[in-house]
A = this chain, B = another copy of it.
Amino acid sequence: MSVVEATAVKPAQKNRNERKLTIAKALNEAIAQEMRRDKNVFLMGEDIGILGAVWGYTGGLLAEFGEERVRDTPISETAFIGAAVGAANLGMRPIVELMFVDFYGVCMDAIYNLAAKSSYHSAGTFKAPMVLTTAVGGGYCDSTQHSQCLYATFAHLPGMKVVMPSNAYDAKGMMTSAIRDDNPVVFMMHKNLQGMGFLGTIQGAIVDVPEDSYTVPLGKANVVRDGTDVTIVGLGMTVHQGLEAAKTLEKEGVSAEVVDLRSLAPLDRDTVCRSVQKTGRLIVVDDDYLSYGVTAEIIATVTERDIKSLKCPPKRIAFPDIPIPFARPMEQHCLPNVRKIVAAARAMM
């Protein structure tokens, strides 16, 4: 089963062998290619230089592009994310890292009041073409302040795109699109998919990635598995859980369609609604906090547009409204997983 997006601009496929890359490597390649292509692209963040970023996607860039364009920063997120806005206003295309999304509380103004409103404030003249990379997700016992997803926290606020790839192919193409986008893009990287040396990686995220540069459009969901009985909507890690669940369900005669949102803002409502119209059943899976989150937005979208398409109540599976506990038994109990998805689907049949 391929997770390759049908609508993506297809890169040249000639003269290349299959290469399975991690998301980290795919992002690295996209960034390097864009930095070669456009001297205005540069990087700022903590430990993105010689360390190659905690999330392993900037290795080698310092060596190739030098300290001017690969800038380790002080632990001053307000200053350097704010600086990205000013630099972008003057024609640069910064890629700037907020190491963990959990840290947004020290610098959100620069993101949502400055970057995201720069175009609006100035009738489109002060552009803010910048990419804010940030890591999300838990499941490895990193506790309350280093395991959050905060998807809705970003997607609720206007003026910025909010995206996350679920596999290396999308990662490369979406990063290329994000860098070329004239708007601020919050580019989330899921730790369980990323492929760093210190954490496991869901194998489904490691896929064949063309060497040539290509784009995957931002704002388009991807039907990563066709099905007829139930639609499972996810994002990042939960897409892979949905795919796993679909395999189990298939054995039971239940055909699940799996939708990878890929982008929370803009949100591809059409693709989701089309799928539910076909299957009549909807499960939304989210590792962010339950309330006022992605699951509600998807369900409200479908219900408001076409409540009749639903044969039964839709189901949400998300992290409960509690801080993310450290100890494994508690954290694992709260996270979405394949078992919960399968059970929800069964209950609908």
A: residues with CB less than 8 A from B are: 78, 102-113, 116-117, 120-121, 144-145, 152-153, 155-159, 264-265, 267, 289, 291-297, 299-301, 303-307, 310, 312-316, 320-323, 325
CB distance from A345 to the nearest CB of B (A): 15
From B104, B110, B299, give the contact of A300 (CB < 8 A): B299
CB distance from A82 to the nearest CB of B (A): 11
Contact yes or no, B321 A158, CB < 8 A: yes
Given contacts A108-B105, A144-B121, contact A156 B158 (CB under 8 A): no
Centre residue among A113, A157, A296 by max chain B CB count within 10 A: A296
Given contacts A156-B293, A291-B155, A292-B292, contact A313 B322 (CB under 8 A): no
A-B contact pairs, 5 of them (CB 8 A): A104-B109, A105-B107, A153-B157, A157-B289, A292-B296
Residues of B within 8 A of A314 (CB): 300, 303-304, 307
For the complex, give the distance between the alpha carbons of A336 and B116 in Å: 23
For the complex, give the distance between the alpha carbons of A159 and B325 in Å: 12
For the complex, give the distance between the alpha carbons of A113 and B105 in Å: 8
Centre residue among A156, A301, A306 by max chain B CB count within 10 A: A156
Given contacts A78-B106, A293-B292, contact A313 B304 (CB under 8 A): yes
Indicate how many identical chains form the complex. Answer: 2
Residues of B within 8 A of A158 (CB): 289, 320-323
Residues of B within 8 A of A313 (CB): 303-307
Contact yes or no, A120 B296, CB < 8 A: no
Residues of B within 8 A of A264 (CB): 292
For the complex, give the distance between the alpha carbons of A113 and B304 in Å: 34
For the complex, give the distance between the alpha carbons of A105 and B104 in Å: 8
Given contacts A155-B291, A158-B322, contact A106 B109 (CB under 8 A): yes
Residues of B within 8 A of A294 (CB): 292
Residues of B within 8 A of A297 (CB): 291-292, 296, 300
Contact yes or no, B315 A304, CB < 8 A: yes
CB distance from A32 to the nearest CB of B (A): 32
Contact yes or no, A109 B105, CB < 8 A: yes
From B113, B144, B265, B310, give the contact of A117 (CB < 8 A): B144
Contact yes or no, B307 A307, CB < 8 A: yes
CB distance from A227 to the nearest CB of B (A): 21
Residues of B within 8 A of A104 (CB): 108-109
For the complex, give the distance between the alpha carbons of A296 and B291 in Å: 9
Contact yes or no, B296 A307, CB < 8 A: no
CB distance from A306 to the nearest CB of B (A): 7
CB distance from A257 to the nearest CB of B (A): 19
From B111, B121, B156, give the contact of A153 (CB < 8 A): B156
Residues of B within 8 A of A120 (CB): 144, 322-323, 325
Given contacts A106-B78, A153-B156, A313-B307, contact A267 B291 (CB under 8 A): yes
Considering the complex, give the chain B residue whose CB is closest to the CB of A288. B156
CB distance from A126 to the nearest CB of B (A): 13
For the complex, give the distance between the alpha carbons of A145 and B114 in Å: 9
For the complex, give the distance between the alpha carbons of A155 and B157 in Å: 14
Given contacts A121-B144, A156-B293, A297-B300, 16 further A-B contacts (CB under 8 A): A78-B106, A104-B108, A105-B108, A105-B109, A120-B144, A120-B322, A152-B292, A156-B292, A158-B320, A265-B291, A292-B296, A299-B303, A300-B303, A303-B307, A303-B310, A305-B313
